[in-house]
Amino acid sequence: MLAFREQISNILSTLTGLDAAEAASYLEIPPEPGMGEYSFPCYLLARQLRKAPQAIASELAAKIEPDRYLGKAISEGPYLNFYVDRLHLFKQLIPEIVRMGTAYGKEEKRHDETIVVDYSAPNIAKPFGVGHLRSTVIGNALCRLYIALGYHVMGINHLGDWGTQFGKLIVAYRRWGESSKLEKDPVHYLYQLYVLFHREAEKEPDLDEEARQWFRKLEMNDKEAMEIWERFRGLSLEEFKRIYNFLGIKFDSFQGESFYNHLLEDTINLAVGKGLARESDGALLADLEPHGMPPCLLRKKDGAALYITRDLAAAIYRHEQYHFQKLVYVVGAEQTLHFKQLFKIIELLGYTWSKHCVHVPFGLIHFKDGRMSTREGNVIFLEDVLNRAIEMAHRIIQEKNPDLHDKEEAARMVGLGAVIFGDLINDRIKDIEFDWDKVLDFSGETAPYVQYAHARICSILRKAGQDGNAVAPETDDSLLLSETGFLSDPEEEQLLITMARFKEQIRRSAADYRPSHMARYLVDLARDFNKFYHNCPVLNAPESLRKNRFLLIEGVRIVIKNGLDLLGIEAPEEM
């Protein structure tokens, strides 16, 4: 369909004098099926041509000659609607999808531009709660989309492995900690210590001062402090990695906040040298008021650097290392000001690449039992959420398909998929309420719904194979004659058109930093498949239609599988 879009843009460019890329940017996807695949809003040209949009649309329509690819162009009010030739589209698309298989949708050529994605970034010593789930799944999906588009991607986990909370933890561990418990279940245990510290500090305010001192020791590379810190970090990281593995997520780097310690002095000197930072009360701050933002602290009175100082050092370091074309931060909306300040400082330092830094914010996630907080102790652990999802999926599968051979494997894919998809389907900027029944609803806008369509197609194709009707990749011209009636059913037609939009959706999802487009698209595709299957027999179709319908759904199967894969979700063949 991208080729079709290009063709239309060229036609429009020839007829109107618009640049082809500009014409392409104006093309819209009509809201309803039956109004063409693309439409061009002619009122955009009204002023320049001094004509009514309707007149422009009909004049253009009259000039356009249909060809093999372009079925027809029809004016409708101020719009010019373009219809693709169905049979031609089918003939172009299916062999490509079937030939490429799991690679379909991925650019065959890589370009040498690098995109750095900073995502997940849990805080050590605070648990990996579901709050970090959002960054993890959105970031992972963006990485996969960029890879599909041919970019080099550096996925960086900017671990929260430095900061005053480590002073608190060291104090708590030295007072109340037990090594064996830490070893056994580091993330939960450190979290318990963290909660305990806050509870005790309310009764004994001196604890806070003690924690500050321990953090200072840590900053001075004190041996005992460093040893404890390293142990916390190592053990926690191991556990995080286990969760990432479980989710099938791989990072290219785990350089967290602590990694930048050795660069902070230079970074601060740079800011001072550029006249960007000034002393105030012994602390150092960057004045951002002239830019409409509150000033921002780069170094505290006691000499400690801050979160933003480390981020500044990290951005400069990353630019030097990777010469990125884009640096994307997938971090909650509550840090919007932080990133505005960061990007502004980078710009004021004279780095023109500041405009390639992007904050991709997202809303909060809450369970029906209230917002999660690490302070008060009512946090919900991601791992528990995942396990519960798998368990629930197992129960549902047990009920729906008791004879299924490997229920565990299907439940794992469906349960994890449900949680990931339940997050990604939402417009990321909105807060989401996590509702178990909703994300696991086999007929809702969910992973199981999409996965089920995939499994159903697999089952049809298995049966076809048993009947000696295996799908061969090439479409057979003699079967494509319009007399066979193929693609004359509206459901059949719609399924083809939706399937053909896959690559376009990849681009759109990446351009808007919204994997939700892809998630929604997959729901639409699954729905179109279900409608098609309801109305159009496949296994029992007349001979002249059967083979093409097999090919059609084989294409849909591959697109669903690859689309889910872009979101970091697996598709079972049976469930």
CA angle, residues 303, 259, 234, in degrees to nearest 5: 115
Binder among 329, 362, 449, 452 for ligand ARG (CB under 6 A): 329
Q: Is 415 in the site for ligand ARG (CB under 6 A)?
A: no
Q: Is 160 in the site for ligand ARG (CB under 6 A)?
A: yes
Q: Show the tokens assigned to 172.
A: 């708590």
Q: How far is the CB of 509 from ligand ARG (least distance, A)?
A: 22
Residue type, position 360, single letter: V
Distance between CA atoms of 129 and 151, rounded to whole angstroms? 30
Q: Is 121 in the site for ligand ARG (CB under 6 A)?
A: yes
Closer CB to ligand ARG, 123 or 446, in the complex: 123
Closer CB to ligand ARG, 158 or 557, in the complex: 158
- Helices 307-322 and 264-273, interaxial angle, to 10°? 90
Question: Residue 27's closest CA among 39, 37, 10, 15?
Answer: 39
Burial of 424 per CB tally in 10 Å (0-12, 13-18, 19+): buried
Burial of 305 per CB tally in 10 Å (0-12, 13-18, 19+): buried
Binder among 158, 299, 428, 454 for ligand ARG (CB under 6 A): 158
Span 266-325, contacts to ligand ARG by CB under 6 A: 311
Q: Which stretch binds ligand ARG (CB under 6 A): 50-58, 115-123, 263-271, 349-357?
A: 115-123
Q: How far is the CB of 153 from ligand ARG (least distance, A)?
A: 16
Q: Which stretch binds ligand ARG (CB under 6 A): 11-19, 30-38, 116-124, 365-373?
A: 116-124
Q: How far is the CB of 510 from ligand ARG (least distance, A)?
A: 20
Q: How far is the CB of 229 from ligand ARG (least distance, A)?
A: 16
Question: Which residue is nearest to ligand ARG, using beta carbons?
Answer: 160
Helix (H) or strand (E) holding 139: helix 130-148
Q: How far is the CB of 118 from ligand ARG (least distance, A)?
A: 5
Q: Is 142 in the site for ligand ARG (CB under 6 A)?
A: no
Question: Residue 493's closest CA among 5, 8, 69, 36?
Answer: 36
DSSP 458: H
Binder among 73, 187, 193, 331 for ligand ARG (CB under 6 A): 331
Torsion angle defined by CA atoms of residues 140, 142, 145 and 151, in that order, rounded to the nearest 10 degrees? -100
Q: How far is the CB of 160 from ligand ARG (least distance, A)?
A: 3
Residue type, position 126, single letter: K
Strands 79-84 and 70-76: antiparallel
Q: Is 123 in the site for ligand ARG (CB under 6 A)?
A: yes
Span 235-254, contacts to ligand ARG by CB under 6 A: none
Q: How far is the CB of 342 from ligand ARG (least distance, A)?
A: 8
Owner of token pair 């900690």: 177
Q: How far is the CB of 331 from ligand ARG (least distance, A)?
A: 4
Q: How far is the CB of 337 from ligand ARG (least distance, A)?
A: 12
Q: Is 525 in the site for ligand ARG (CB under 6 A)?
A: no
Binder among 37, 85, 118, 554 for ligand ARG (CB under 6 A): 118
Distances (CA, A) of 533 to 130, 458, 502: 37, 13, 20
Which residues sit opposite 40 in a β-bridge?
A: 80
Q: Are 532 and 492 in contact (CB under 8 A)?
A: yes
Q: Show the tokens assigned to 2.
A: 């991208």
Tell me which residues touch ligand ARG (CB under 6 A): 118, 121, 123, 158, 160, 311, 329, 331
